[in-house]
A and B are shown apart, each in its own frame.
Chain A
Amino acid sequence: MAAPTMKERQACWGARDEYWKCLDEHMEDASQCRKLRSSFESSCPQQWIKYFDKRRDYLKFKEKFEAGQFQPSKSTANS
Chain B
Amino acid sequence: MLLRAPSRAWPRLSQLRTGGSQVQCARPRPFSRQRPAEPGGQGQPRGPGLRTRLLVTGLLGAGLGGAWLALRAEKQQRQQQRRTEALRQAAVGQGDFHLLDHHGRARCKADFRGQWVLVYFGFTHCPDICPDELEKLVQVVRRLEAEPGLPAVQPVFITVDPERDDVSAMARYVQDFHPRLLGLTGSAEQVAQVSRSYRVYYSAGPKDEDQDYIVDHSIAIYLLSPDGLFTDYYGRGRSAEQIADSVRRHMATFRSI
Residues of A within 8 A of B (CB): 1-6, 9, 13, 44-48, 51-52, 55
Interface of B is mostly: loop
Which A residues are CB-close (under 8 A) to B147? none
Residues of B within 8 A of A (CB): 124-125, 127-128, 131, 164-165, 169, 172-173, 176, 208, 210-214
CA distance A5 to B131 in the complex (A): 11
CA distance A2 to B211 in the complex (A): 11
In the complex, are the beta carbons of B213 and A3 less than 8 A apart? no
CA distance A31 to B165 in the complex (A): 38
Which B residues are CB-close (under 8 A) to A9? 131
11 contacts across the A-B interface (CB closer than 8 A): A1-B164, A2-B172, A3-B172, A5-B172, A5-B176, A6-B176, A46-B208, A47-B125, A47-B210, A48-B127, A51-B214
In the complex, are the beta carbons of A1 and B210 less than 8 A apart? yes
In the complex, are the beta carbons of A47 and B212 less than 8 A apart? yes
| Highest count of chain B CB atoms <10 Å: which of A45, A47, A48, A51 | A47
Which A residues are CB-close (under 8 A) to B176? 5-6
Which A residues are CB-close (under 8 A) to B127? 44, 47-48, 51-52
CA distance A1 to B210 in the complex (A): 8
Which A residues are CB-close (under 8 A) to B125? 3-4, 45, 47
CA distance A51 to B216 in the complex (A): 11
